[in-house]
């Protein structure tokens, strides 16, 4: 309560489109609440969801002091406060409670559900031995083994404590091989295909240096990976799909970033040192400046991700090829490609429980930087005091241009959002092949930003252990599993996923050209975004105002008024920014 300069402001005006409402604004430690008289519903705004707050001078006609709150879920709340001092106190309080110093200060560590969840096994949804055992490791696939070389996180701080590696490779070789990879994130098993035991492995970029150095241990590790299962398929079958039995290394870095990283000692594998083993492919995740969504080519990026995954899927399932995927550090683009690909390859991950395992395994355990990418720790530069400025828009744009150049801001990126968007596209194309529905994806995305649960806190498994996240917070899966009926897809046909009788039917091949805007992501109706006005196969983008990175062309509204404390608010934030400055942030 020490940070709360003010806890209650009465007679606050909120503009909702063409409707003006007067109510009371309450400020608590973790969220602000707007209550209207004689209304049951409340508007909850958790502080982590706030993108920018701008305080403006009083209006000449109303003599009220505007406080404009723009959120990461595209909602804008124009509050008008009667007294200047109240507007100052509200501004200062929100700033102090939003710009926190430690992840331990977020709501998750204080959150207690009004009613205890009926399901409480959220933190044990993913068990590394059980999941890789399901794939056959140690049971039918003896070419792989579990390694606890990282049990104390001293081997690699951003990797999980237990890794799956080729059985022929000792921990000593792993230690030497890790030195050749950025952040010590050496190649390890991500997925073993049920159909042919072809593998998908993941890593960070190789550190070959300016002199094109090599690592015998790294080469030995990759060779062992590619020899864990040697396919013997008819060449005629493979040629139908344009594939070969050549194993594949997917370098998911944009070309410009790979060249820039080479100057820092990173680079691509020297093909001569991996002769007869691999084929290099580049996933075209091209970075651009996203000032406005209509200039971002968002759908083209979604399409490119799906196209890249199709290459991986066909190589694994049809060509029985082993695929190694890496980007710069192996926690952004790499995770997108592995998770989308294995979602299409294995029907288990399209079940309600299996998808939770997928997110925990590929995103949480392998160190996707959720806190950094989601902006859980905000910054004072997001708070704009335009009072006494010549023009509010000028002040906003000036400050905006400054904080977009800050390093901490460049860490924010919609990497996980792109993954969920791709899942939505595949769900739309194959509506009977997913046990969960669209609402599940939307709420999952929202809770990446809400900080109500501990699942998406911190940047690695080690950090979550240091902050005692699993013991001091609730898992988001407890919430979803306790309300499972709300998130089930009534069209789901589980019988179509029977591996004993499905042949190739268990593998999905999404159409990368058949993509559309995820209307709910932008808090809009489908017909507002997806019409017949297509350009080169892509729906015409949304039009955005030029004075704000998140404002909409329509009048700002408050959207759903369900209580945030119940874990609802199914709307999704999108951070529009410059991705060129960080080589490992996905466009």
Q: Counting Cβ atoms within 10 Å, is residue 21 exposed (0-12), middle (13-18) or buried (19+)?
A: middle
Binding positions are 327-333
Tokens (6 digits) for 496 = 């179509």
User: Phi/psi at 54 (nearest 5 deg)?
Assistant: -125, 125
Please compute Rg for the chain using Cα positions: 25
Closest alpha carbon to 366 in 126, 198, 179 = 126
User: Which of 235-253 are b and which e, b meaning 16 or more Cβ less than 10 Å from the residue's Cβ?
Assistant: eeebeeeebeeebbbbbbb
Give yes or no: 327 in active site.
Answer: yes
Tokens (6 digits) for 347 = 């029907």
Catalytic residue of the set 285, 327, 448, 451: 327
Binding positions for substrate are 327-333
Tokens (6 digits) for 335 = 């995770």
Show the DSSP H helices in 136-201 as ranges. 171-178
Closest alpha carbon to 338 in 358, 355, 320, 356 = 358
Closest alpha carbon to 125 in 393, 344, 357, 309 = 357
Running DSSP on this structure, what letter comes out for residue 82? S
User: Which of 470-486 are b and which e, b meaning 16 or more Cβ less than 10 Å from the residue's Cβ?
Assistant: beebbbbbbbbbbbeee
Tokens 């926190």, residue located = 100
Please calculate the CA angle 265-370-421 and round it to the nearest 5 degrees.
100
Active-site residue numbers?
A: 327
């Amino acid at each position: 309560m020490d940070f709360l300069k003010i806890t209650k402001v009465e007679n606050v005006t909120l503009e909702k489109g063409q409707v003006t409402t007067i109510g009371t604004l309450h400020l608590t430690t973790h969220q602000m609440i707007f209550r209207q008289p004689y209304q049951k519903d409340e508007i909850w705004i958790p502080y982590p969801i706030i993108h920018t707050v701008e305080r403006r001078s009083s209006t000449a006609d109303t003599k009220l002091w505007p406080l404009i709150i723009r959120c990461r879920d595209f909602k804008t709340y124009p509050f008008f406060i009667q007294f200047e001092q109240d507007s100052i106190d509200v501004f200062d309080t929100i700033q102090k409670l939003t710009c926190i110093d430690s992840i331990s200060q977020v709501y998750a560590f204080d959150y207690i559900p009004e009613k205890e969840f009926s399901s409480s096994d959220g933190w044990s949804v993913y068990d590394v031995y059980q999941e890789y055992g399901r794939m056959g490791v140690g049971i039918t696939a003896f070419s792989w083994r579990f390694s606890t070389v990282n049990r104390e996180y001293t081997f690699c701080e951003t990797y999980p404590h237990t890794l799956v590696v080729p059985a022929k490779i000792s921990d000593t070789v792993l230690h030497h091989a890790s030195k050749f990879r950025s952040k010590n994130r050496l190649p390890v098993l991500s997925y073993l295909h049920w159909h042919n035991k072809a593998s998908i492995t993941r890593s960070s970029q190789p550190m070959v240096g300016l002199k094109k150095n090599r690592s015998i241990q790294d080469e030995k590790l990759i060779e062992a990976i590619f020899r864990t299962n040697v396919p013997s398929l008819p060449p005629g079958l493979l040629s139908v799909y344009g594939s070969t039995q050549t194993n594949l290394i997917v370098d998911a870095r944009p070309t410009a970033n790979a060249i820039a990283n080479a100057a820092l000692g990173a680079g691509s594998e020297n093909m001569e040192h991996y002769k007869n083993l691999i084929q290099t492919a580049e996933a075209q995740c091209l970075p651009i400046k996203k000032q406005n969504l209509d200039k971002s080519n968002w759908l083209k990026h979604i399409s490119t991700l799906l196209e890249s995954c199709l290459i991986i899927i066909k190589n694994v399932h049809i060509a029985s090829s082993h695929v190694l995927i890496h980007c710069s550090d192996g926690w952004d683009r790499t995770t997108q490609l592995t998770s989308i690909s294995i979602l299409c390859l294995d029907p288990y991950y399209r079940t309600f429980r299996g998808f939770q395992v997928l997110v925990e395994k590929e995103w949480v355990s392998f160190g996707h930087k959720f806190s950094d990418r989601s902006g859980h720790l905000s910054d004072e530069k997001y708070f704009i005091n335009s009072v006494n400025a010549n023009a509010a828009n000028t002040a906003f744009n000036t400050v905006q241009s400054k904080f977009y150049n800050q390093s901490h801001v460049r860490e924010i990126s919609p990497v996980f959002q792109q993954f969920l968007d791709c899942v939505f596209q595949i769900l739309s194309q194959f509506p009977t092949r997913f046990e969960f529905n669209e609402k599940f994806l939307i709420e999952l995305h929202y809770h990446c930003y809400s900080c109500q649960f501990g699942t998406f806190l911190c940047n690695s498994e080690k950090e979550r252990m240091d902050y005692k996240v699993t013991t001091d917070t609730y898992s988001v899966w407890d919430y979803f599993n306790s309300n499972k009926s709300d998130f089930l897809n009534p069209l789901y046909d589980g019988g179509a996923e029977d591996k004993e009788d499905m042949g190739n039917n268990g593998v999905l091949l999404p159409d990368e050209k058949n993509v559309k805007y995820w209307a709910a992501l932008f808090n809009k109706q489908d017909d507002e975004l997806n019409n017949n006005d297509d350009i080169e196969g892509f729906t015409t983008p949304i039009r955005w105002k030029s004075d704000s990175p998140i404002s909409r062309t329509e009048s700002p509204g408050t959207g759903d008024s369900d209580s945030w404390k119940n874990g609802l608010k199914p709307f999704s934030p999108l951070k529009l920014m410059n991705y060129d400055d960080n080589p490992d942030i996905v466009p």
